Chain A
Amino acid sequence: MTENLSRYSDDQLYTMLSGDQQTKDRAFAELYARYSSRVWLYCLKIMGDQESAADMFQGTFLRFLQSAGVERQMTNVPGFLLRIARNLCLNTRQKMQPTAVAVEDIQIPVEDQSLESKELARLVSTALDLLPDEYREAFVLQVYNGLSYKEIAETIDHPVSTVRNRVVRAKKKIREILAPYLVDYRE
């Protein structure tokens, strides 16, 4: 009977990644089950398209797996994963050609005049693409990954005050972008 690994801590599972193949398989699958959604969401929101996000996402977990071969103490697996994902995503985005588009030129698809919650979520995602990288990242980590300002600061290695500024600015900016649509939503 296969042992259920759900009760193992992240640290224990990370250590098991250095074990035999079967143990490694199961430990990796369990960690993947715990954090794949979080990492995927980050990659998707930062990169903006599924194809790029898939590359970053897979690269994140592959690097994570490789890191297990090195003897090291692991205390924060999700933070470690997000840091890997962040480095990959930001490096890739820096290499990409910046596409400057005026906010006024953006046409956000609205399928229904009466905005539903789902539609608003889509609008927010679209508006996110218009934010500077640092704002977008702060917003994604705070809203989509559910991290506190302090956790974000630890992840991106910046002061909490900077994180606060970025999150607040990001949210204000998104509201400005969505202002024409929010009028309908309020009604």
Chain B
Amino acid sequence: MRHEEQTWNASELIYLFVDGEANDVQKSTLFSALANDTDLQTEFADALQINAAAKSERGAIIPPSHVTTGLFQKAGISAGAIVTSGAARTGAVVGTGSAVGLTSLFRKVATPVFSAFLGAAIALFLVPEIAPWASDSGSSRETIAQSVAPAQPAEKTQAAPNEHSAPTVPNTPAGQKNTTSVLSSSRAGAKEGRNSSLPHQLNNAQTLTIAEKSTATTTSTAPTGNIASSAAETMQPLSAEEMVNIRLAMAPDGTPHSAGSIDDLKRQESPSQRSKTGTDVPPAPTGIVASQTFPRLSVQLRGMADVQMFPHRSLQSSVAAPAFDNIAVAAFYNVSRNHALGIEVGREYHPLYVATAPPVLEEQPDVSGTQPEGSDGPGIIFTDANNLLTPTTLAGNARYTMNEEDIQSYKLESYSKWAGLSYRYRANELSNVLPLRPYIQTVLGASNFGPIGKAMAGLSWQPDSRVTFSLGLEGTSIFYRQDGAWYSTRKLGASYAAQIEF
């Protein structure tokens, strides 16, 4: 071949060598010349620098998003296809008005937002008492509490329009007196409950128990509202047996027993208990009250065992105590027994490569994942542009190998530190036999990489009124912006938590 016969001077051989095109004879000639020629050494150094600097642009220049979208429009290709392709993804610049970029951002942010709305929707439909349209069902404790509480002082209820006289029970403390008088209004329901309609009976009882609470602090507020009037109209003294029926109809946490078990419960109550509480004046149904006095504050310590990361990356950390790789501390305010709002802080093992200098990437000729021919060292194979915080122009899903020298250009950021606002919904116990409460929890916040969203779902178990353990699944999405485009990585894991109520 002609070029083999061509004579190259030492200076020209430098460039052949830098380009990897010099043969052994040419290399030998070059290095012999380099040994004694300082100018040649300088030129050699310059050639290396120019080559490296120019190559660094290989991965750093991508077609602008408007060029990409314009091309797809001209070609009659749907815009949706752009989003699914890697290079187009990297070219989608958010914040420049690019429809593609906005769509991409929306899709990524949609996951945590959708999770939050889904959680709220499930809460509304599964727990009818918090749904505004369900307030006429007569079963909402909170709704009734708001309407009735300021309207139930015993003195006022005695002056109800239909002139029913409130019961007066001798030798009864003031609180119990109020309780008794209030409970009397559930007489009709209680009587029905002996026969058939226990839920109705319980609704009345619950209503009036809330009224009892309010009378401890409110003594002069005039009754207002239909429910208050209705309660006052039905005021009639209850017999001791009716009181017992009502009390026994309630589980300790305020939930109703099954109708068939009431008689059994009555039989189980010992005579000593009856004598202690008084045959004629049973104590206030403490179970009902307890249900309304749930702890308002709670602290949760949560951990996460990694399952999978998307795009895939090894989640084996190098720290000595991987149990603390993913931890979060949350403080909740319990809006109700089922709903809580909180703030959370935490850190999470979420490895991301951060570019410290422009990388030089060499495309792998095939997509089999094997080491490309001629590359040095084992390298790191990235399977997706999202693996890098500076994805630059890695072409889509094609695989690339990063040479050892380029690895020096990247820093592995292992942990994300984050903080956010949290919402949690915990349903009631699945059953009395299986006191597990399903929960969902969402978090929206910020991390040192960018916005973060979390969604959790699982089961919680409360062995004690102040301690709760939870186990479930937890998903995390971290969003970050690089070179004008948004990217995300996601992680799925098993979530475990312990919570203390105050």
Whether the Cβ atoms of B85 and A161 lie closer than 8 Å is no
Q: Categorize the interface residue count of chain B.
A: 35 or more
Whether the Cβ atoms of B19 and A142 lie closer than 8 Å is yes
Interface hits, B1-27 → A, CB 8 Å = 1-3, 6, 8, 11-12, 15-16, 18-21
When C-beta atoms are compared, the residue in chain B nearest to A171 turns out to be B15
Q: B54 within 8 Å of A by Cβ? A: yes
Bound CA–CA A33/B398 (angstroms):
9
Please indicate the chain B residues that have their CB under 8 angstroms from the CB of A131 in the complex. none
Whether the Cβ atoms of A164 and B3 lie closer than 8 Å is yes
Partner of A143, one of B55, B68, B84, B357: B55
B23 to chain A, nearest CB (A): 12
Partner of B50, one of A33, A37, A168, A178: A178
Check A37/B63 contact, CB under 8 A, given A58-B71, A161-B1, A182-B46: yes
Whether the Cβ atoms of A58 and B70 lie closer than 8 Å is yes
Whether the Cβ atoms of A57 and B71 lie closer than 8 Å is yes
Interface of A is mostly: helix
Whether the Cβ atoms of A164 and B49 lie closer than 8 Å is no
Please indicate the chain A residues that have their CB under 8 angstroms from the CB of B58 in the complex. 41, 144-146
**Most chain B CB neighbours (cut-off 10 Å) among A21, A30, A62:** A30
Render A53-68 as a binary contact track against B, CB cut-off 8 A, 1 for contact: 0100110011001000
Bound CA–CA A156/B482 (angstroms):
35
Bound CA–CA A161/B12 (angstroms):
13
Render A106-126 as a binary contact track against B, CB cut-off 8 A, 1 for contact: 000000000001101101110
Q: A7 within 8 Å of B by Cβ? A: yes
Please indicate the chain B residues that have their CB under 8 angstroms from the CB of A4 in the complex. 397
Bound CA–CA A124/B357 (angstroms):
17
Please indicate the chain A residues that have their CB under 8 angstroms from the CB of B362 in the complex. 146
Render B61-73 as a binary contact track against A, CB cut-off 8 A, 1 for contact: 1111001101100
Q: B42 within 8 Å of A by Cβ? A: yes
B46 to chain A, nearest CB (A): 5
Whether the Cβ atoms of B54 and A124 lie closer than 8 Å is yes
Whether the Cβ atoms of A41 and B57 lie closer than 8 Å is yes
Whether the Cβ atoms of A6 and B367 lie closer than 8 Å is yes
Whether the Cβ atoms of A117 and B52 lie closer than 8 Å is yes
Bound CA–CA A117/B87 (angstroms):
25
Whether the Cβ atoms of A28 and B75 lie closer than 8 Å is yes
Please indicate the chain B residues that have their CB under 8 angstroms from the CB of A38 in the complex. 395
When C-beta atoms are compared, the residue in chain A nearest to B66 turns out to be A54
Interface hits, A131-168 → B, CB 8 Å = 142-146, 148-149, 159-161, 164, 167-168
Q: B256 within 8 Å of A by Cβ? A: no
Whether the Cβ atoms of A124 and B50 lie closer than 8 Å is yes
Task: List 24 A-B residue pairs with CB atoms under 8 Å apart, sorted by A's residue number.
Answer: A7-B367, A25-B81, A28-B75, A28-B77, A36-B88, A36-B393, A37-B87, A41-B57, A50-B64, A54-B64, A54-B70, A58-B67, A62-B71, A121-B57, A121-B358, A125-B57, A148-B21, A168-B8, A168-B16, A171-B47, A172-B12, A175-B50, A182-B49, A185-B49
Contacts A6-B396, A33-B396 known; 13 new A-B pairs at CB < 8 A: A25-B77, A29-B82, A32-B85, A33-B85, A33-B398, A34-B395, A41-B61, A120-B53, A145-B58, A168-B15, A171-B15, A171-B47, A174-B50
